Structure 1
Amino acid sequence: MSTLITVDLRDATPPFEQIRAQIASLIDVGQLANGSRLPTVRALASDLGVATGTVARAYKELEAAGLIESRRRLGTVVMHSSPAADGAADSPLEAMIDELIGEARAAGIKDDTLVSLLRGRLRASG
């Protein structure tokens, strides 16, 4: 799961917010289903090269939003289910994203560049 999350330290968005937003998006599109276990705070922080407090804050905000729950001995688990996670096929949005990724790779665009382009477009759209 940690391979699906990245932190761009050059981005003006605080690292905890980047982590929170990415995990929330993964839950929303069904990539993380209800009951899925998240990495420990220490493990994810180590994978991303950030402080444990950064991941802990992201998890705390996700928990306050009702998306995840931290349980003793069981760790942190997803507590929200999306239609995509409930057995539906890939959503139309996921299909469009897959197509975009395929076209970008065919054009020789690196993943980091594609992500930067998307972030720029998102900022420009308000």
Structure 2
Amino acid sequence: MNGPVVHVDTASPVPPYEQIRAQLAALITTGRMPEGERLPTVRQLAADLGLAAGTVARAYRELEAASLIRTRRGAGTRVAPLPAPTRTPDPAKLAELALRFVTEARGLGADRETVQRAVRDALDE
């Protein structure tokens, strides 16, 4: 992982570990971080972001639980192969993701139009 890719807003109502998890998950699922790319160590990323190592470790654990990264002793933490896409997305999972996004966006002060614009912009990327 080259350069500062993850940013944490300490004034945000979203916990720092969740900001890290969400940003890395987005980078992985969009292909910006390809399979096999090595992530910084927990300690290194924590130092780079000015956070406690436990905060980064929690984000990494959640990413590992979601099968987005793999940690191997001696090989470090790397982006895992993405699961094969399914033809029909699970409506319940989509609703859960949408609700989480809207909740976090509203926590940042975004109104309906801003949330919709953000979704449209993300779809157009």
Q: Same fold (TM over 0.5)?
A: yes
Over the aligned positions, Cα root-mean-square deviation in angstroms equals 2.6
**Counterpart position of 2:93:** none
* Distance apart, 1:80 and its partner CA: 3.0
**Counterpart position of 2:71:** 70
* Distance apart, 1:29 and its partner CA: 1.4
Structure 1 counterpart of 2:48, which letter? D
**Counterpart position of 1:125:** 115
**Counterpart position of 1:44:** 45
* Distance apart, 1:81 and its partner CA: 3.6
Give the TM-score normalised by structure 1.
Answer: 0.65
Q: Is the 8 A contact 1:34 1:80 kept in 2?
A: yes
Aligned residues: 92
Describe the shift of the 1:122–1:57 C-alpha distance in structure 2 as closer, same or farther (beyond 3 A): farther
Unaligned runs of 5+ in 1: 84-118
Secondary structure of residue in 2 paired with 1:125: helix
Describe the shift of the 1:77–1:121 C-alpha distance in structure 2 as closer, same or farther (beyond 3 A): same
**Counterpart position of 1:89:** none
Give the TM-score normalised by structure 2.
Answer: 0.66
Distance (whole Å) between structure 2 residues aligned to residue 27 and residue 122 of structure 1: 28
**What are the equivalent positions in structure 2 for 1:1-126 lying under 5 Å apart?**
1=1, 3-81=4-82, 120-121=109-110, 125=115
